C-alpha cells in the first residue's frame, strides 16, 4: 500500500451533511420515495438474475429502466411509482449498475481490495436513502431545500456550501432523524509548508489509540466500552418485546439512539485528531493494518479493534493529507517496527501475541530501554523517511535518463551533422486498434460471467 508523495488534489468532491426537519406530509412522501427506489432496484435486479439463469444475453440498461419505471407505472401493481419523482428511481438503477461493475471488475481481478460479491436485494431497514441529481432539487434563497414532489424542506445550515452541489442524498437513520448529504467540488488548498523538521511517525494500537514518534500519546476513548452497560440494558429490553409490537418499536428506537451516539462520538474524535495531525506535520508515516485479521476470532480482540475504528482513521487521514499537500507514507504492516531497537537497530524486541503484554523492554545489545509504542513510532518514521529518499533517488535517475536521451536526439539531428534532402514518409495515425480490425469492433463478452448492466 503506497500513497503519492506530496500530491495535492486540485479538485476534490466532498460531502457536506446537514440535518433537515420535514413536516408530516413531507415525511410521508419521503417514505414513499424510499420505498419506490427500493422496489425499482429489486425489480431491475430480478430481471438481470432471471436473464442470467436462463442463459440469455444481458439486457441493456435503457431497456431495463423502461421496463421497471416507465412501463411499470402503467400496471396496477406499480401505479404508485408515478406519485414520486422519477429522479431517485433512475439513481437507484445507476447504483445497481455501479454494484454490478464492481462485481465484474472484482471477478476479472481489475478491482483493488477484497473480493466483491454480486448485488443483493434490498430490504426494508431502519436506514433509508434516496438520491436527487440537479434535476430533482433546488436551493431556495430563503435557505430551504426544494425536493421534487416533496416540497421545500427546512435545513439546519451549520456551515455554508463551498460551491454549487451536483447531487443531494436524503437519509433517514435508525433513530428517525433526517439528513441531507450534498456532493460539492472543492479546490485543493495546500497548507503552508512546515519544513523538513515537521515529520512524525504514528503507531496505532489498542492500549493507546495512537503514539507519535515525539512521545505524545493519544489515549483511546473507547466509546463502545463506555456505553456497553446501557447497550446491554436496551438489548435485553428489545429481546423481551414481541416482534411487531409498539413497545418493541420503542425499545429498538432507544437502542438505535445509543448506537448512533457512539458512532457520532467516534466520528467526531477521528475528525479532530486527523485534522490536528495534518496541520502540525509536513510528513506523516503510518503503518498499514490488517483490521480484519486483528479482529479475527482467534485473536479474541474483535470488539476492541472495531471500537478503535483504525481503518476509518487511516482513510480520513489519507484524504486530508492529500487535500492539504502533506506527504503520507504507508509502511508495510510486516515491517518489524516493534521488534527493532530504535537506538542500535538490533532486532531484540518483544515478538508475537504471547509478548503483547510487554509494554517496556530493554535491548540486549545496547542496553537502551524503550517504551514499546514510542519505539515502534520512531521506527515507522525512520522507515517512512527511507522510502521517501529512495523515491526521490529513483525520480532523479529517471530525470537524468530523460535529459541524456534528449541530448542524444539533439546531436543526431542538428549542429554539424548533414541534413537529409529526402522527406520522411507520413506517419500512420494511431487509431488505438490492432491492424486489420475496425475501430468500432466490440470485445466479446465472457459467457461464463453473469450479465451486468
**Residue carrying the nine cell digits 454549487:** 164
Q: Report the C-alpha gap between 71 and 291 in whole angstroms.
A: 46
CB–CB of 186/163 below 8 Å?
yes
Q: Are 196 and 172 in contact (CB under 8 A)?
A: no
Tell me which residue has cell 475528525.
271
Give CA–CA dist 436/337, Å, rounded: 56
Number of H helices and E strands in the chain, helices first, is 10, 14
CB contact burial 416-433 (16+ within 10 A = b; e otherwise): eeeeeeeeeeeeeeeeee
Please give the grid coordinates belonging to residue 105: 471488475
Is residue 57 flagged as an active site residue? no
Told to judge if 203 belongs to the known catalytic residues of this protein, a careful annotator would answer yes
Q: Which helix (H) or strand (E) holds 387?
A: helix 372-413
Element (H, E) at 318: helix 310-324
Q: Is 309 left (phi over 0), alpha (psi -120 to 50) or beta?
A: left
Which is nearest to 303 in space by CA: 224, 208, 218, 221?
224
CA distance 384 to 281: 14
Residue 280, H or E segment: helix 246-280
Beta strands in 100-198 (DSSP E): 128-133, 137-139, 145-147, 151-156, 167-172, 178-187
Q: Report the distance separating Cα 331 and Cα 453, nearest Å.
A: 39
Rounded to whole angstroms, the Cα distance separating 383 from 135 reads: 50
Q: Which of 131, 287, 307, 383 is catalytic?
A: 287
Out of 43, 131, 307, 373, pick the active-site residue.
373
Helix/strand/coil for 363: coil
SS3 229: helix
* Nearest residue to 262 via CA among 235, 211, 222, 296: 222
- Per the annotation, the verdict on 373 as an active-site residue is yes
Which one is catalytic: 203, 401, 408, 427?
203
Catalytic residues: 203, 287, 373
Amino acid at each position: 500500500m503506497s500513497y503519492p508523495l506530496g500530491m495535492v488534489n486540485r479538485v476534490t468532491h466532498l460531502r457536506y451533511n446537514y440535518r433537515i426537519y420535514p413536516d408530516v406530509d413531507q415525511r410521508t412522501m419521503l417514505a414513499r420515495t424510499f420505498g419506490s427506489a427500493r422496489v425499482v432496484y429489486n425489480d431491475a435486479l430480478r430481471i438481470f438474475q432471471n436473464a442470467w439463469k436462463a442463459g440469455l444475453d444481458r439486457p441493456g440498461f435503457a431497456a431495463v429502466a423502461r421496463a421497471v419505471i416507465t412501463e411499470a407505472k402503467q400496471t396496477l401493481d406499480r401505479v404508485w411509482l408515478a406519485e414520486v419523482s422519477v429522479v431517485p428511481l433512475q439513481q437507484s438503477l445507476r447504483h445497481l449498475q455501479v454494484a454490478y461493475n464492481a462485481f465484474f471488475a472484482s471477478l476479472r481481478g481489475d478491482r483493488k481490495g477484497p473480493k466483491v460479491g454480486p448485488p443483493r436485494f434490498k430490504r426494508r431497514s431502519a436506514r433509508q436513502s434516496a438520491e436527487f441529481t440537479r434535476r430533482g432539487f433546488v436551493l431556495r434563497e430563503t435557505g430551504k431545500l426544494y425536493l421534487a414532489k416533496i416540497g421545500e424542506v427546512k435545513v439546519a445550515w451549520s456551515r455554508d456550501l463551498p460551491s454549487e452541489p451536483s447531487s443531494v442524498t436524503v437519509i433517514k437513520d435508525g433513530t428517525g432523524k433526517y439528513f441531507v448529504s450534498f456532493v460539492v467540488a472543492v479546490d485543493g488548498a495546500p497548507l503552508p509548508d512546515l519544513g523538513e523538521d515537521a515529520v512524525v511517525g504514528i503507531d496505532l494500537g489498542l492500549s493507546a489509540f495512537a503514539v507519535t514518534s515525539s512521545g505524545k500519546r493519544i489515549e483511546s476513548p473507547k466509546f463502545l466500552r463506555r456505553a456497553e452497560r446501557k447497550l446491554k440494558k436496551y438489548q435485553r429490553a428489545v429481546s423481551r418485546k414481541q416482534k411487531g409490537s409498539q413497545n418493541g418499536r420503542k425499545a429498538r428506537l432507544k437502542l438505535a439512539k445509543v448506537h448512533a451516539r457512539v458512532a457520532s462520538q467516534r466520528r467526531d474524535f477521528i475528525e479532530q485528531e486527523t485534522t490536528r495531525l495534518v496541520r502540525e506535520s509536513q510528513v506523516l508515516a503510518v503503518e498499514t493494518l490488517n483490521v480484519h485479521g486483528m479482529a479475527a476470532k482467534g485473536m479474541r480482540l474483535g470488539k476492541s479493534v472495531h471500537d478503535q475504528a483504525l481503518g476509518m482513521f487511516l482513510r480520513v487521514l489519507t484524504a486530508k493529507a492529500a487535500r492539504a499537500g502533506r506527504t503520507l507514507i504507508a509502511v508495510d504492516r510486516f515491517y518489524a517496527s516493534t521488534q527493532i531497537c530504535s537506538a542500535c537497530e538490533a532486532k531484540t524486541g518483544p515478538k508475537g501475541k504471547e509478548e503483547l503484554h510487554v509494554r517496556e523492554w530493554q535491548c540486549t545489545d545496547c542496553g537502551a530501554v524503550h517504551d514499546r509504542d514510542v519505539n515502534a513510532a520512531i521506527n515507522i518514521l525512520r522507515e517512512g523517511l527511507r522510502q521517501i529518499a529512495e523515491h526521490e533517488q529513483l525520480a532523479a535517475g529517471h530525470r537524468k535518463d530523460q535529459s541524456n536521451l534528449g541530448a542524444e536526439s539533439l546531436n543526431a539531428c542538428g549542429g554539424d551533422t548533414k541534413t537529409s534532402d529526402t522527406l520522411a514518409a507520413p506517419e500512420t495515425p494511431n487509431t488505438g486498434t490492432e491492424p486489420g480490425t475496425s475501430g468500432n469492433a466490440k470485445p466479446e463478452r465472457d459467457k461464463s460471467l453473469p450479465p451486468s448492466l
